[in-house]
Amino acid sequence: MIKILIIGKKSFLGSNLKIFLSKFYDVDIYSYEQIKKKKIFFFEKYSHIINCAIHPNYIKLKYDIKYDLDRTFIKKFNKINFDYIFFNTRKIYSPKENISELSKIKPIDAYAQNKFTTEKYLKKKIKSNLISLRISNIIGGRIFKNNRNHHKLFFDNFLKYKKNIKRKKLLVNDDFKDFLSIDQFCLIIAMIIKFKVKGIFNVSISKKIHLSELTKWLDKKLFKKINFTKPSKNSFTLSNTKLIKKIKINLTKNQLKTFCEKLI
């Protein structure tokens, strides 16, 4: 029987996953503060646990065990009977095209280094029960808009930029990145659970999405206020071949376009 626990009650990913996964599975969601108070036997009823909670210092500071909520949670168990879904970041790789899970690991900031450190611990501690997902940029709206929001999303920054932009046209590098919608992401998680997938996977649509395209989809008026120049060396795409072979779904650029056009 599939029963899912999501940690991170008001987080962007957690709150969206709760709504989507509840269409198919029995899902509970709690804050990390609530979970800390639970005894070991509480977790015995769950087949899958997804941690969406994160400490702000884990995002911006050098690795410190006390800020690693995944490690703090897992180390309380001598043995686990659930599958643990860990959210990693594509930033553990240097930017380039068609990055695979076998590409060289070279974290580009403290957050990425911290995520890779946690992933290595989890591989050692719970290897046969670990699903580690190296995720590209996710586009979507927050359900709890006034939450702490320690981790700023692309869409958070987009809305802030849209609000503050002046009349004068700006020059922006037309970088390409690998985006996916929150709807696509939630479907991926549902299929990972359905097909009992284990291991380390990139999560993306594996397509070049230029910032000019994305801006036009989200806001045509804002698009007209920006002059886009050639892409910089920060452009990237992730290969999703390994995951798609497991979950057998079709993720397209047109799906993302349709989602973005309805987002604002």
pLDDT value, residue 154: 85
Average pLDDT over residues 132-154: 84
Number of Cα atoms under 13 Å in the Cβ half of residue 76: 13
Least Cα distance to 201 among 148, 241, 151, 144 occurs for: 241
Could you give the maximum distance between any two Cα atoms of the chain, in Å?
A: 60
Over residues 247-262, the mean pLDDT reads: 97
pLDDT score recorded for residue 166: 67
- For residue range 21-42, what is the model confidence (pLDDT) as tens digits? 999 999 999 999 999 999 999 9
Highest mean pLDDT among 5-14, 149-158, 166-175, 219-228: 5-14
Q: What is the DSSP letter of 158?
A: H
In this predicted structure, what is the pLDDT of residue 228?
95
Which H or E element spans position 118? helix 110-126
SS3 227: strand
pLDDT at res. 167: 61
C-beta atoms surrounding 213 within 10 Å: 19
Which two structure tokens, joined as six digits, stand for 172?
């922006």
Reported as a pLDDT band with limits 50, 70 and 90, residue 163 is confident
Homologous superfamily, domain 3-142+174-261: NAD(P)-binding Rossmann-like Domain (3.40.50.720)
Q: How far apart are CA 143 and CA 169, in angstroms?
A: 32
**Do strands 209-210 and 176-177 pair parallel, antiparallel, or not at all (unpaired)?**
antiparallel
What residues pair up with 210 in beta bridges, in sequence order?
176
User: Per-residue pLDDT tens for 176-198?
Assistant: 999 999 999 999 999 999 999 99
Lowest mean pLDDT segment, chosen from 6-10, 96-100, 135-139, 159-163: 159-163
| Residue boundaries of the structural domains of the chain | 3-142+174-261
Instruction: Give just the sign of the alpha carbon dihedral 13, 253, 255, 222.
Output: positive
pLDDT band at 148 (very low <50, low <70, confident <90, very high): low
Q: What is the CA radius of gyration of the chain?
A: 19
